[in-house]
Amino acid sequence: MQIVVLGTSTNAIILAGRLCKTHDVILVDVDASEKAAYHKLDVQPVDGVIIDTSILEEAGVRDADVVCALSERENTNLVAAQIARNIFGVKKVIACTYDTEEFQMFENVGVYPISATDLTVDAFISAIHESKAEPENRIGVSLVNLFGDKFKFKMFKVEESLEGVKLKNIADTEGGIIVGVMRDGSLHNYDPSFKVELRDKIIVAEVYE
């Protein structure tokens, strides 16, 4: 299967890294070559803006089986997804959204949206009922069925060594993707520049096979 991943956010890099083990993956963004080399990804990098039709043509989006838009900007994901769907005729387009209120907008243009907010809330609901003892810094693990797939959510306490570190620089997540942070009872969606504090709890998600 040929899969085009648009964006080089933390989520995009982790997704590309996993998909390239069994699929042909093309990574597109202005720093795609640099990120692919740094993370040693077995992907085909294409450097350029993900909403530039000429760049998407070069990346082979027209022949892609699936296009995944995972940049750090929701509006960019929406535009890129629409281009893939309406201009290049890709049948399956998936995009990451951070604002639940905008969720319907993606569906209205034929794009399959993944909401970081909904995933995190579902994880909390399941975690409330989780009683299994966990390792020292892991608070809980929950399995959630969403869109026909299973996701595993983990919640971690912030260790002293991570205090003040930006989310984009936190790599040790047991192979998962950071989807949010809980602070003083409030949920914060993933923001690469968000700096964690000792009082925080980091929420990580991964596909459960």
Maximum mean pLDDT: which of 71-80, 99-108, 110-119: 71-80
- Dist. CA 71–CA 49, nearest whole Å: 11
Q: Which domains does the chain have, with CATH numbers?
A: 2-110 (3.40.50.720), 118-207 (3.30.70.1450)
Calculate mean pLDDT across residues 65-87: 92
Q: What is the pLDDT of residue 136?
A: 46
**pLDDT tens per residue across span 21-36:** 899 999 999 999 999 9
Q: pLDDT band at 100, cuts 50/70/90?
A: low
| Residue 207 clears pLDDT 80, i.e. is over it | no
Q: Is 55 helix (H, G, I), strand (E, B) or coil?
A: helix
Choose the weakest-confidence range: 2-11, 19-28, 100-109.
Answer: 100-109
Residue 11 confidence (pLDDT) above 90: no
- The CA distance from 48 to 31, in Å, is 7
CA 160 → CA 128, 130, 203, distances in Å?
Answer: 25, 25, 17
Q: What pLDDT does 137 receive?
A: 47
Higher pLDDT, 88 or 161: 88
CA atoms within 13 A on the CB side of 203: 26
Asked whether the predicted pLDDT for residue 47 surpasses 60, the reply is: yes
Task: Report the pLDDT value the prediction gives residue 152, as an integer from 0 to 100.
Answer: 73
Greater confidence (179 vs 19) lies with: 19
> Is the model's pLDDT at 65 over the cut of 60?
yes
In the predicted model, is pLDDT for residue 200 greater than 60?
yes
Predicted confidence band at 208 (pLDDT cuts at 50, 70, 90)?
A: low
How much helix, strand and coil, in percent to the nearest 5, is found in the chain? 35, 30, 35
Q: What pLDDT does 148 receive?
A: 54
- The model's pTM is 0.60
Taking only the tens place, the pLDDT of each residue in 135-187 is: 444 444 555 555 455 667 778 888 888 889 998 888 766 667 888 888 887 78
Strand boundaries in the chain, DSSP class E = 2-6, 24-29, 44-47, 66-69, 92-97, 112-115, 138-146, 149-157, 177-183, 186-189, 201-207
**CB atoms closer than 10 angstroms to residue 58:** 14
